[in-house]
Amino acid sequence: MNSQNKQDFVVISKAKPMNYKTNYVYLPKDYGSKNYFERADVQAIRNVVFQNLDILNDKSQFLQKMRNKKLILKPNLVGVFRDIGFSPAIVPQSTDPRVLDAIVEYFTPFVDEIIIAEASGSGFPTRTSFKLAGLDRLAKYRGIQLACLEEQPVERYYLPKAKAMKECLIPAIFGEVVRKEASYISIPKMKTNMYTEVTLGFKNAMGIIPLNLRQRDHNYNLEQKLVDLLFLLKPDVTIIDGIVGGQGQIPATAEPIESGIVISGTNVVETDRVATEIMGLKAEKVKLIHLAKKMGFGNDSIEIIGEKEPIPFKQADPSLMNDAFHEKFPKVTALIGHQLKTAPKITDLKKVKKNDLKKMELACRGGCLVATRMAFELLAAEEQKIPPMTIIIGKGVIVNGKGPYYFNREGKVYTLKKIAEIKQPVLAVGSCTSH
């Protein structure tokens, strides 16, 4: 909390400059051999991980607290996209297995047992993601365990201080973390995100929640829900894999960026804040970071070791109405209408400004907007042709007791009658559009 006396630390380490885009999503067949471990990239990643964690331990003595306990490593395997029909064929969304392997090697002498625990997103079976990434072979070689969290029994917790997620179910193995019987390290990929702008250390905990409950409050409450989870679970250490970062339209597709860094820290919010700023964003304007700091999960007593040089990432863009979407999908028309508290209030249909439409569209960024944009990006990645259509999102806007009204990118007003007259296919997205 901000009022805590304990000092926290964030360490930024740069990897030796070279091409790291070899096996950065999956381990090759020769993993475990002498030839593999003699590769320059593998040695460089091991060196930067060990160097980084040695510095953090010298400052914080985190190994003392973890010694002789079970250690749970939580990577980010939201989708191991490798030769599944996308263009490009390899998509940098998941934690680099070379980084994960180095972390396992680092901690092995100090802890009783190591478990890599994950539940893949989007309905991907985690066993498949483990196999695609080669983590099944890593576990066998290193003598550690894998845990598919969707196969675990769950424990129920109540979070009285939470604002969105008052009740939470988590796998029993993370109940051990709550009771301080096991240590927990979050190991996210350094990447952008259409839902939350960035996805780093504490958003990585979304993969701990059972899949059906991940959908709850996956709307304008998403950031609050993720911050609420910090009342229950905070990593002992966060290690951000920035060797090959992911930028652009994640979680649909991702473009690699050779950021070449590893960032670790003892406070997950401050570690994420530093990474966010390195990625070229203003952390105070990223709702996820802002809320976490506002609710007291950051720490003003923070020492940053290493150079915080900006590495601008291409930001995620969820819009269905801006020029970029229109140029990419020219036959698709989006109609938006929100009356949420986070949306601008429309009082005159003749004075709707484009900036108001932009704010209205993003009023529920954590919900249907991104899910829809993600679908279009995936179709484009599969090189599918997108036919003419109209997309409708939201309950519609009530103005002076009349409506609902919707708006296109130019601010043109659509009534339900006008929508009914549209000749091309119309897709109404989400429960808000049930009418």
Instruction: State how beta strands 332-336 and 389-393 pair.
Output: parallel
Residue of 248, 276, 313, 259 whose CA lies nearest to 20? 259
Q: Is 116 exposed, middle or buried (0-12, 13-18, 19+ CB in 10 A)?
A: buried
Q: Give the model's pLDDT for residue 85.
A: 66
- List helix spans (H) across 299-393: 323-328, 354-361, 370-381
Q: How many Å apart are CA 104 and CA 340, to the nearest integer? A: 46
Q: Give the model's pLDDT for residue 79.
A: 72
Walk along the chain (435 residues) and give the pLDDT tens digit of each residue.
444 568 999 999 999 999 999 999 999 999 999 999 999 999 999 999 999 999 999 999 999 999 999 999 999 997 777 776 666 677 788 999 999 999 999 999 999 999 999 998 766 789 999 999 999 999 999 999 999 999 999 999 999 999 999 999 999 999 999 999 999 999 999 999 999 999 999 999 999 998 878 888 888 999 999 999 999 999 999 999 999 999 999 998 889 999 999 999 999 999 999 999 999 999 999 999 999 999 999 999 999 999 999 999 999 999 999 999 999 999 999 999 999 988 999 999 999 998 999 999 999 999 999 999 999 998 888 888 999 999 999 999 999 999 999 999 999 999 999 999 999 999 999 999 999
Structure tokens, 18: 């070279």
| Other beta carbons within 10 Å of 421 | 8
Give the SS3 label for residue 59.
helix
Q: What is the DSSP string of 335-347?
A: EE---STTSPPP-
pLDDT in tens, 103-128: 999 999 999 999 999 998 766 789 99
- 172-203: b (≥16 Cβ within 10 Å) or e: ebbbbbeeeebbbbbbbbbbbbbbbbbbbbbb
Q: How many Å apart are CA 398 and CA 256, to the nearest integer? A: 43
Structural contact between residues 56 and 112, judged by C-beta atoms closer than 8 angstroms: no
**In one letter, which amino acid is 224?**
Q
The dihedrals phi and psi of 49, each to the nearest 5 degrees, come to -65, -50
Q: Give the model's pLDDT for residue 211.
A: 80
The dihedrals phi and psi of 6, each to the nearest 5 degrees, come to -65, 135
Q: Where in the chain is the domain with CATH 3.40.50.11440?
A: 8-305
Q: Give the model's pLDDT for residue 120.
A: 83
The residues that bridge with 74 in the sheet, in sequence order, are 186
The dihedrals phi and psi of 129, each to the nearest 5 degrees, come to -65, -40
| Other beta carbons within 10 Å of 64 | 9
Q: What is the DSSP string of 132-179?
A: HHTHHHHHHHHT-EEEEGGGS-EEEEE-TT-SS-SEEEEEHHHHHHHT
Q: Give the model's pLDDT for residue 2.
A: 46
Residues 6+ apart with CB under 8 A from 421: none
Q: How many Å apart are CA 73 and CA 423, to the nearest integer? A: 53
Q: What is the pTM of this model?
A: 0.95
Structural contact between residues 64 and 10, judged by C-beta atoms closer than 8 angstroms: no
Structural contact between residues 359 and 322, judged by C-beta atoms closer than 8 angstroms: no
Phi-psi region of 319 (alpha: psi -120 to 50; beta: other; left: phi over 0): beta
Q: Give the model's pLDDT for residue 3.
A: 41
3-state SS, 240-292, equals EEEEEEEECCCCCCCEEECCCEEEEECCHHHHHHHHHHHCCCCHHHCHHHHHH
Residues 6+ apart with CB under 8 A from 93: 76, 78, 79, 80, 81, 189, 191, 246, 250, 251, 254
**CATH 3.30.930.10 fits domain 8-305:** no
Give the SS3 label for residue 234.
coil
Structure tokens, 337: 């209408």
Q: Is 277 exposed, middle or buried (0-12, 13-18, 19+ CB in 10 A)?
A: middle
The residues that bridge with 238 in the sheet, in sequence order, are 186, 265
Residues 6+ apart with CB under 8 A from 213: 168, 169
